[in-house]
Structure 1
Amino acid sequence: MSFPSLLLAVIVLYIPEPSVANLIIVRAITRIPVYLRITRAEVLEVRERMFVQAAKGMGASSGRIVFRHILPVILPTLITIATLDFAFVMLAESALSFLGIGIQPPEITWGLMVSQGRDYLTTAWWLAFWPGLAIILTTMSLNLLSSWMRIALDPTQNWRLEPKANRRG
């Protein structure tokens, strides 16, 4: 996890032929440890809570405790991180395609479109501008969606989504 994932992707994708499958494999291998570490930390914290201890005391099976009590608590965190990670992976793919070691023509991505449009910046600037703007807007939208999901899925934070007229206090 301490090795930069984008650098690893550059090294691995430079050696074999750049392809969509290789890109997906490299990005998955570099991002899985983040999910495993977060899941482990959340499970270690949640399993010590009173409701899990009560379920154990009532004789619930390990599978029931995991799927009925622990998973619903950690799932919102994982969904929020996956949304943020989608934006990160999209930016990484755009950067790799821009450098020429990501997705190759005849397939097309926004990073490849920016790369191909940079030769025409003085005469046809919009060839690079619009794909770049699409990358920026999509990334910002995913970050805002992730922030909203964190509030909406967390029971201690979802009061922020209520209109002011409905709030108690």
Structure 2
Amino acid sequence: VVMRSSVMQIRDLEYVNAARAIGCSTTRILLSEIMPNVVNNLIVIMTLEMAHAILLEAALSFLGLGVQPPMPSWGLMISEGKEMLLFQPWMITIPGVALFMLVLAINLMGDGLRDVTAPEAKG
């Protein structure tokens, strides 16, 4: 939905109309004018959804609805470590910090990729 609205917004801009007026094909307009401006939104959405999927899997595993005990999962590790919280707090903190760092790294990677591929940065 976000990608479609971005494409619809960009297709009405002057440089797209100018490319259409000089006779560029639809494929050329799509690849050279629209896609470079839409790829930023795509990168941000993909990285946010990836982080969301990781957190969702961890939450479901914590609740017992995700992967089962032979399979490793940070949510499962946190769930199993909550019974030993007073005596071995690292059983929760290490998987929790690792999960936090992974999600933060994915979000920062998406932000950095967006900055690199931004058309306004290319000048």
TM-score range, shorter chain: 0.7 to 0.9
- 1:31-54 Cα distance to aligned partner (Å, 9 max, x none): xxxxxx111111111101122112
Following superposition, the deviation at residue 74 of structure 1 comes to: 0.2
**Could you tell me the TM-score, scaled by structure 1's length?**
0.66
> Is the counterpart of residue 41 in structure 1 residue 5 in structure 2?
yes
Paired positions, count: 123
Q: Counting helix residues as a fraction of each chain, which structure ranks higher?
A: 2
**Aligned residues of 1:121 and 1:128 also touching (Cα < 8 A):** yes
Distance 2:81 2:8 in 1: 49
For 1:12, the equivalent position in structure 2 comes to: none
Misfit runs of 4+, over 6 Å? none
Pick 1 or 2: higher relative contact order, CA cutoff 8 A, min separation 6: 2
Give the conservation status (yes or no) of the 8 Å contact 1:46–1:52.
yes
After TM superposition, give the deviation of residue 79 of structure 1 in Å. Answer: 0.6
- TM-score (ref. length: structure 2): 0.87
Q: Structure 1 unaligned segments of length 5 or more: list them.
A: 1-36, 160-169
Residue 108 (structure 2) aligns with: 144
**2:87 aligned to 98, 109, 123, which one?**
123
Runs of at least 5 residues in structure 2 that lack an aligned partner in the other structure: none
Over the matched positions of the two proteins, sequence identity in percent amounts to 37
For residue 49 of structure 2, the aligned residue among 80, 85, 97 is 85
Q: 2:35 maps to what in 1?
A: 71
SS of equivalent to 1:156: helix
User: How far, CA to CA, are the matches of 1:151 and 1:158 in structure 2?
Assistant: 10
- C-alpha RMSD over aligned residues: 1.8
